[in-house]
Structure 1
Amino acid sequence: MLHLVALFEQHGPLLVFLNVLVEQLGVPVPAVPTLMVAGALSVEGRLVWQQILLLAVLGSGMANFAWYLAGKRFGMQILGLMCRISLSPDACVRRTENVFARWGVTALLVARFVPGLSAVASPLSGAMGFSAGRFVLFDTLGTTLWAGAAMLAGRVLHRQVDGVIHALASIGSIALAVLAGLLALYVLWRWIERQRLLGFVREHRIDVAELRQRMEAGEAPVIVDVRSAVSRGSDPRRIPGALEAELEEVRQLLADVSPEREIVFYCNCPNEASAANAARILQRAGYRHVRPLRGGLDAWMAEGGGLPSG
């Protein structure tokens, strides 16, 4: 087995390029530790930091531009695919929409530093219609800042990083097994968190047909639109009579509603994530009958939209 330091010295640029590329494609293999190690090894000239930084930006740029083109081609539908293949919470889509609404394409300068935002920033840029030139410019700048910061941390902490590398190398295959085990635990934890959210949705959601029946019978629940401000602004469709609220405003908006009243939340995000999170917020506050609308606004409109007859 190759010594870990020798492995980085011989194949460091390739390892950095591949790690950054697959991470930005959506595989949960963090690239920051690799960048830090590369930065530490560059202090003594064992790696060329300019080469590492260039390859990191190139790997990230290739993956991000592919996701940008997918967002441009398929619009918001691509976010559903991303949330199916990624372990990041589906609600990261909403958070990214809010960041982009405030900062526009310049949000790409900091997107790589924020877990969750990085995963959806590129396809969302395409779906929101940012030009390719502006996307490439700000994505490249943001990636350079992100990779450069990780490498700088490695250079500053090179003594500690070298110590960790040599300690891992001294125990050989055991070290790799430990690292693989830690990565597996990380992936398992993210998967469990995701399944908990999906389980809540499956257990509590209400179908459009059932909601229409309640409304026709004069037993309409309180209906709340929890789409982001960006989504409501770009898509004026809504369920008639629905209230509007950001997630952080839900408890305040419904403070005067009885905990025994049925409340239905809807959104247009993958897996009804925002609606599920709003329902969980109220459930923890003691509300007993809170339900996400299955399929969200799209499902409502697919079955005719408007008000039920009768």
Structure 2
Amino acid sequence: MGELQTMLENHGLMLVFLNVLAEQAGLPIPAYPMLFVAGALGVQETGPSIGAVLAAVIAACLIADTAWYFAGRRLGQPMLRTICKVSISPDTCIRQTQSLYLRVGPRSLVFAKLLPGAGALSTAMAGMTATPLPVFLFYDAVGALVWAGAALLVGVVFSDFVDAILAAFSAYGHVAVLVCLAAFALFLAWRWWRRIRLLRRTRRVPRMTVDELEARRRSGALPLVLDVRAHGATPIERIPGALVVDMQGSLEVLGGHPESQDIVVYCACPHELSAAILAERLKAAGYQKTWALAGGFDEWKRLHGTESPPQAGEAANDAAAS
């Protein structure tokens, strides 16, 4: 299979380590194709052994994930907002990851890497919620083992198919590489286009400022306030009187009367995205007097002078941004 297989056989372990390290660090460089190949070569005994590959993967994951862990622990909520801003994963995936960690704790790290966009977010959540470092390292290593083991198993089972792909790469050389790069670039462009389109659509949802909300409260005309952040088993701080709702849950909790109901929805994510999505759903259901809270929960905390670095016991609360 030419130079390509020779390179994989001689330097496969280092390539696997660097590929996994780059992906877990947050670069859009998928590691699963490399792991498929490593599994196929390992079972054929023409490449590094499966055990050596697993060790390299776990080492790369622990290095990258520990950096995410300490970044989350040190930076807290701003770190989470940054991940939400740059992620190309659907915001529903981000919310599900947060809710899962808040409910299950560090055990969610065992399968977090198998969920789209959940790897870096879960490890940052571990730091933000002050998960003990030894506990984090244990579950993260198990998660890396599960994640890599699944990919290597696919490579082992479909080793003949992987061989055919490697042969095609060797035969067509640069053309095959360019085709793969072009396909990957188109995939990234499609994901970003979907996200930009969502942001443009949700910008049309009207916003109510925190000052306006407070003015209504003082005048005795406080609207129904809905908290759409991710929530776990531990109660979290919220705007007084707010009703906790699920974005996909039943609207029966609102009590009907959509034509006269004033509703403000808040979250703690960039662009008030989760709040705007629920507001869209409410408007479609007839609740036309619905707003997203501009700046979300962070702006409400700032106005009330309560925004301060989270203490160890409060980190889980601030981590519940959507």
Whether TM-score is above 0.5 comes out as yes
In the other structure, the counterpart of 2:106 is: 105
SS at 1:28 equivalent:
coil
* Cα distance in 2 between the residues matched to 1:73 and 1:214: 37
Q: Deviations over 1:102-141 (max 9, x none)?
A: 3221111111111122230001001011100000001001
What does 1:1-310 align with in structure 2 at a 5 Å threshold? 3-48=3-48, 49-204=50-205, 205-215=207-217, 220-230=222-232, 233=235, 235-236=236-237, 238-249=238-249, 251-254=251-254, 256-258=256-258, 261-285=261-285, 287-304=287-304
Q: Deviations over 1:65-111 (max 9, x none)?
A: 00001111122221112223322234444322321233221111111
The one-letter code sitting in structure 2 at the alignment partner of 1:228 is: A
Task: State the TM-score, normalized to the length of structure 2.
Answer: 0.85
Q: Distance in 1 between matches of 2:119 and 2:132?
A: 18
Structure ranking higher on relative contact order (CA contacts 8 Å, 6+ apart): 2
For 1:260 and 1:244, how far apart are their aligned partners in 2?
21
Letter of the 1:156 counterpart: V
CA deviations on 1:187-241 (whole Å, 9 max, x unpaired) are 11221222133223433233223434455566544321112223972x32x3333
Runs of 4+ more than 6 Å apart? none
Stretch moving more, 269-278 or 130-139: 269-278
Q: In the aligned structure 2, how far is the partner of 1:259 from the partner of 1:45? A: 70
SS at match of 1:291: strand
Post-superposition Cα deviations, 1:161-180, rounded to whole Å, max 9, x if no partner, equal 11122123322211111111
In 2: Cα distance, 1:159 partner to 1:91 partner: 37
How far, CA to CA, are the matches of 2:252 and 2:167 in structure 1?
Answer: 54
Unaligned ranges ≥5, structure 2: 307-322
Describe the SS at the equivalent of 1:115. coil
Given that residues 96 and 117 in structure 1 are in contact (C-alpha distance below 8 angstroms), is that contact kept between their aligned partners in structure 2?
yes
Q: Which residue of 1 aligns with 2:315?
A: none
Q: Judging changes above 3 Å, is the alpha-carbon distance between structure 1 residues 92 and 171 closer, same or farther for their aligned structure 2 residues?
A: same
Q: SS state of the match for residue 30, structure 2?
A: coil
- 2:196 and 2:94 map into 1 onto residues whose CA distance is 17
TM-score normalised per structure 1? 0.88
Deviation readout 1:226-266 (Å, 9 max, x if unpaired):
12223972x32x33332221222253323614167443210
Task: Note if contact 2:87-2:117 (Cα within 8 Å) is conserved in structure 1.
Answer: no
Pairwise CA distance, 1:33: 1.4
Alignment size in residue pairs: 303
CA distance in 2 between partners of 1:149 and 1:298 (Å)? 39
Structure 1 residues 116 and 31, CA gap change in structure 2 (3 angstroms): same
User: Distance between the aligned counterparts of 1:111 and 1:54, measured in 2?
Assistant: 19
Percentage of pairs with the same residue: 38
Question: Cα RMSD (Å) of the superposition?
Answer: 2.5
